[in-house]
Structure 1
Amino acid sequence: MTPPSPVPTFSARSGPSDFFQGLALLGKAWGLIFRSPRLLGLSALCAVVTLVALGGLFALLWVYTPQLLGWMWTLPTAWYGRILWYLVLALLFLVLLVVGANVTLPLVLAPLQDPLSEKTEELCGDFASPPFRLGPFLQGLVTSVAHTLARVFFLLLGLAVLFPLNLVPVAGNVLWTVLGSVWTMLWLAGEHLAAPMTRHGYPFAEVRRVLGQRWLLCLGFGVGVYILLWIPLLNTFFLPVAVVGGTLLYRGLRAVGNVAPPPSRALGK
């Protein structure tokens, strides 16, 4: 008996349910990983590397985040001021941990992202992973890292634009944390939607168009990935789940016509 296709079913038009459908992609990704031995093996390898990387990042931020906040806002002497200072410190630490994870992990795990995405598409049907050849593999790896660096630049650029809000103590710090988190969530969706689209030859302008057209769906997915980072143990599967979920998002959008067939297929490649 042929198992049902894991391609998610979306409506062709945006609606209020989009957010929850995007959020539900995390559950679909988890289920697909544990049903596929190949995906589970690749995800376990990613989890080991992720555990080491997140541990190092956590230790680094634990030491230096108080110094960064102290540079922007000196620790008050009044008790109520100290409470606010430590609250802002906790929020700043969380945002920097998320941003640091999203900068570090895609670069460290770049060689495993395309195999994860390709295997996910195989399970979705109408796709076969190309045979391994060293030349195309190295070319794809260089392209993947270059595009990841470009997308990380846009993440950091958005946070840099918001950073002057920190010059306003308390209110500005909190506002930067909230807006920075929302920006990171949207970026997360774009990052993991762009990965399979880049592999198929779509220009980044097409990724931006899809994000604008189905922003609520993408935001739901980004929120789910963001939350996953804060669940102990499960967060070591942060990148595999995001890659599989982003690939499912891409295939679901293709199925309802929000994304055209891959340029390579249109050109007969």
Structure 2
Amino acid sequence: MRRFSGVRKGSRMREFVAGVRLFGRGFGTILRSPRLLLLGAVPALITTVLLLGAWIMLGVWLSDIATWLTPFADGWSDLARTATRVAAGIAVLGAAVAVGVVSFTALTLLIGDPFYEKISEIVDQGLGGAPDAGNSGWLRGLLQVAREVLSTVVLSVLWAIPLFLAGFIPVLGQTVVPVIAAFVGAWLLVRELVAVPFGRREIEPEQRRLLLRQRRGLAFGVGMPAYLLSIIPFAAIVVMPAAVVAATLLGRELLGQPTGVRLR
């Protein structure tokens, strides 16, 4: 396994702002390049339609699900029963969004692996190339992505369970818990996104996570806007290719490779 020491610099807030700028550069690159936008839009569109359908079904059945989850409230007063079931509905919705966004990215990367590999390669070439990038083959690359997809989905579900239960806590469940869920989702999302450029460099998952932990602020700066924007229906069609560009820039920054050359 290749070893990289990583680069550690700056405060967390400055790092976060720098990460947001990387995401902004990813967005700007996609908007200036119809070719990259089209490459990334097709798999994102397919997954968006599937996920939106699932969320619509959840919305239709949300009241019944909240009632089913809170049978203990049947004999309570109208106010207490309604408040409890509203909290349950919010908790279910928050957990579904957290799992859905991360699963969306994982599924989109699996469907669109050849497209996003090409986008990442084009970005690397525009920034002077990737000296340690290899060619692991299409099948091996797909298997690596599938393994990462499964790992991410399992982790997102495991996180969703305690966050769902915490959603029943009065006030905190409707304020603090969604914020925690956003940070968890952003971290899992950026971990999934960097699998594209790091996979091309044959960097093992354990080493990827180490590099991300060394620059958490930078990683969250890329992951948080990508996560929040992916919640908006159909926005992910543009967000996903932009996030792949940003993740490639993030990967280069984590490895100490140049990121400042303007892409063409």
Shorter-chain TM-score category?
Answer: 0.7 to 0.9
Q: Which amino acid aligns with 1:140?
A: G
Which deviates more from structure 2 when the two are superposed, residues 28-37 or residues 96-105? Answer: 96-105
SS at match of 2:202: coil
Q: Deviations 1:183-216 (Å, cap 9, x if unpaired)?
A: 1122112221233212311122212212221111
Q: Which of 4, 10, 18 lines up with 1:14 in the alignment?
A: 10
What is the CA distance between 1:164 and its match in structure 2? 4.2
Task: Summarize the Cα distance change of 1:118–1:77 in structure 2 as closer, same or farther, 3 Å threshold.
Answer: farther
User: Displacement of 1:48 after TM fit?
Assistant: 2.6
Equivalent in the alignment of 1:27: 24
- The alignment partner of 1:255 has SS state of coil
**TM-score normalised by structure 2 residue count:** 0.76
Identify unmatched segments of 5+ residues in structure 2.
1-6, 259-264
Map 1:212-223; keep pairs closer than 5 Å: 212-223=213-224
1:249 offset after TM fit, Å? 0.8
> Which amino acid letter does the alignment assign opposite residue 15 of structure 2?
D
Counterpart of 2:194 in 1: which secondary structure? helix
| Structure 1 unaligned regions, length at least 5 | 1-10, 258-269
Matched residue type, 2:49: V
Q: Aligned residue for 2:101?
A: 101
Contact 2:99 2:153 in 1 (8 A): no
Contact (CA 8 Å) 1:121, 1:247: kept in 2 or not? yes
Query: Residue 45 of structure 1: SS of its match in structure 2?
Result: helix
The question of whether the paired residues in 2 share the 8 Å contact of 1:20 and 1:220 is answered with yes
Counterpart Cα distance in 1 of 2:90 and 2:163: 18
- Are 1:50 and 1:236, in contact at CA under 8 Å, matched by a contact in 2? no
**Is 1:46 matched with 2:47?**
no
Q: In the superposition, relative to structure 1, how do residues 125 and 216 fare at CA in structure 2: closer, same or farther (>3 Å)?
A: same
Q: Which amino acid aligns with 1:62?
A: G
Q: Which stretch of structure 1 is more off in the superposition, 173-182 or 194-203?
A: 173-182
* Partner in structure 2 of residue 126 of structure 1: 129
Letter in 1 for 2:148: H
Q: CA–CA distance in 2 between the matches of 1:197 and 1:165?
A: 35
Matching residue of 2:253: 252
Q: How does 1:230-241 map to 2 (within 5 A)?
A: 230-241=231-242
Alignment of 1:199-210 (within 5 A): 199-210=200-211
List per-residue Cα deviations over 1:190-248 (Å, max 9, x = no partner). Answer: 22123321231112221221222111121222211122123454233232222221111
Q: Distance in 2 between matches of 1:163 and 1:47?
A: 27
1:69 alignment partner, one of 58, 66, 69: 66
The answer to whether the Cα contact below 8 Å between 1:189 and 1:222 also exists between their aligned partners in 2 is: yes
Question: Which string of whole-angstrom CA distances, capped at 9 and with x for unpartnered residues, describes residues 156-175 of structure 1?
Answer: 22333544435x55356435
Higher mean alpha-carbon deviation, 94-103 vs 169-178, is at 169-178
Task: Return the match for 1:113 from 106, 116, 140.
Answer: 116
Q: How many residues align?
A: 243
Counterpart-to-counterpart distance in 2, 1:195 and 1:99: 20
CA 1:228–1:108: 2 relative to 1, 3 Å: closer
